């Protein structure tokens, strides 16, 4: 549950131009584009892919 809340907060920050402008540039770990180029759905898809890659590497 805590992980999901953290990821939701990350997606909200990374896809909100007003909030994002006050942070360092965030590069998507999956497609390597600026996170601001993602909408929330795209950000969630990339985060899900990233989590799957991490899990696969630990198996």
With beta carbons less than 8 A apart as the criterion, state whether 29 and 45 touch: no
Angle between helices 2-14 and 40-58 (to 10 degrees): 140
| Residue 59, pLDDT score | 65
Q: Where are the domains of the chain?
A: 2-58
| Three-class secondary structure of residue 35 per DSSP | helix
- Asked if residue 26 lies in contact with residue 9, where contact means CB atoms within 8 angstroms, the answer is no
Question: Model confidence over 3-59: pLDDT tens digits?
Answer: 778 778 877 777 777 776 667 788 888 999 988 888 889 988 998 898 888 888 876
């Amino acid at each position: 549950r805590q992980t999901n809340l953290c990821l939701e907060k990350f997606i909200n920050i990374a896809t909100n131009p007003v909030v994002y402008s006050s942070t360092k540039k965030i590069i998507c770990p999956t497609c390597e584009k600026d996170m601001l180029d993602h909408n929330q759905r795209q950000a969630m898809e990339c985060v899900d892919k990233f989590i799957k890659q991490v899990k696969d590497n630990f198996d």
